[in-house]
Amino acid sequence: MQTSDRPGRLAVGVLGAGRVGSVLGAALAQAGHHLVAAAGVSDASRRRALDRLGVDISKPDEVVRRADLVLLTVPDDALPGLVGGLAAAGVDLRGKLLVHTSGAYGLAVLNPATAAGALPVALHPVMTFTGRDDDMRRIVGCSFGVTAPEPLRPVAEALVIEMGGEPIWIADEDRALYHAALAGAANHMVTLIAESQELLRKIGVEHPGRMLGPLLGAALDNALRLGLAGLTGPVVRGDAGTVRKHVDALILAAPEAADAYVALARLTADRALAAGLLKPEAAERLLDALQGNTWA
């Protein structure tokens, strides 16, 4: 089934009307595609299907039957079971564009559906979604990691462009490393900032976010523009005594944070040394400090 109001418009179904599915579905609708059905389990998904997508909740096989393009926007761990279940149930997948949004998975997870005649695409938005209304704004201009068989590459890239994103081609074998790079930066950054805020609150800082905001904004800007050349702080300066004081203080206040600090400081020292920003003798003193040894 293909809508006829504009050439090339598709009937879109969403399997997993959560934070990601509701945003991408709505973005495709804004581009002129026709949302026909959605599936979801939670009450929040049902609300999003109605409020953001304008459709009622249907069974997965009904969503697939009515759609030309099916968005598979379920959590990563649920994706293999969903695809395998559709194929095993004998759902007619012939000619259906099956688009999953997992960063870590490539095309292999869609193999059962591909064998049944589906057209496989992996299309991952490089953005964090909170379920708030500003998610729709954030998708504009963000990158999408795109993986598809060569004949489907123009279709996948066109869908991204229609949603206001920038398609970036990711080789199928590189998907796991691609996603590790993204998650390591975005997810761990949130954890690190939350930990810093908690430590500052422990010593009486009332508004740690206000204190950290300008510093972190400058650090992020430096990192994105300059890479390691934008690195500042005691590690790149070779201040082993300061680094040891940090570790000792963290061991007393938050032992689990001390382990993370040591691991990241070692990685920072290694990178700074390789980039010529840190002298070998300074790096040695730093590593001794991180291991609890003494230095001259």
Pair (63, 209) in one structural domain = no
- How far apart CA 3 and CA 162 sit, in angstroms, is 16
Is 113 a member of any domain? yes
Pair (209, 134) in one structural domain = no
293: pLDDT strictly greater than 50: no
Pair (134, 20) in one structural domain = yes
Pair (165, 181) in one structural domain = no
CATH code of the domain covering residue 206: 1.10.1040
Provide the whole-model pTM: 0.86
Pair (182, 151) in one structural domain = no
pLDDT the model gives residue 129: 87
182: pLDDT strictly greater than 50: yes
Residue range 158-173, pLDDT digits in tens:
999 999 999 999 999 9
pLDDT the model gives residue 295: 38
Residue range 224-261, pLDDT digits in tens:
999 999 999 999 999 999 999 999 999 999 999 999 99
Residue 291's pLDDT band (boundaries 50, 70, 90)?
confident
8: pLDDT strictly greater than 80: no
7: pLDDT strictly greater than 70: no
Pair (243, 152) in one structural domain = no
* Structural domain boundaries, residue 186: 177-290
> Interhelix angle for 208-226 vs 175-202, to 10°?
150
- How far apart CA 40 and CA 37 sit, in angstroms, is 10
pLDDT the model gives residue 52: 82
Q: What angle do CA 27, 32, 36 make, to 5 degrees?
A: 80
Q: What is the mean pLDDT of residues 140-167?
A: 97
pLDDT the model gives residue 238: 96
Residue 59: Cβ-neighbour burial (10 angstroms; 0-12, 13-18, 19+) = exposed
Residue range 185-231, pLDDT digits in tens:
999 999 999 999 999 999 999 999 999 999 999 999 999 999 999 99
Pair (19, 157) in one structural domain = yes
Question: Among 170, 199, 224, which residue terminates a domain?
Answer: 170
Residue 2's pLDDT band (boundaries 50, 70, 90)?
very low
Q: What is the mean pLDDT of the chain?
A: 92
H, E, C per residue of the chain:
CCCCCCCCCCEEEEECCCHHHHHHHHHHHHCCCEEEEEECCCHHHHHHHHHCCCCCECCHHHHHHHCCEEEECCCHHHHHHHHHHHHHCCCCCCCCEEEECCCCCCCHHHHHHHHCCCEEEEEEECCCCCCCCCHHHHCCCCEEEEECCHHHHHHHHHHHHHCCCEEEECCHHHHHHHHHHHHHHHHHHHHHHHHHHHHHHHCCCCCHHHHHHHHHHHHHHHHHHHHHHHCCCHHHHCCHHHHHHHHHHHHHHCHHHHHHHHHHHHHHHHHHHHCCCCCHHHHHHHHHHHCCCCCC
> Interhelix angle for 280-290 vs 240-253, to 10°?
20
Residue range 13-50, pLDDT digits in tens:
999 988 999 999 999 999 999 999 999 887 777 777 77
- How far apart CA 23 and CA 37 sit, in angstroms, is 14
Number of domains in the chain: 2
- How far apart CA 30 and CA 227 sit, in angstroms, is 37
Pair (153, 33) in one structural domain = yes
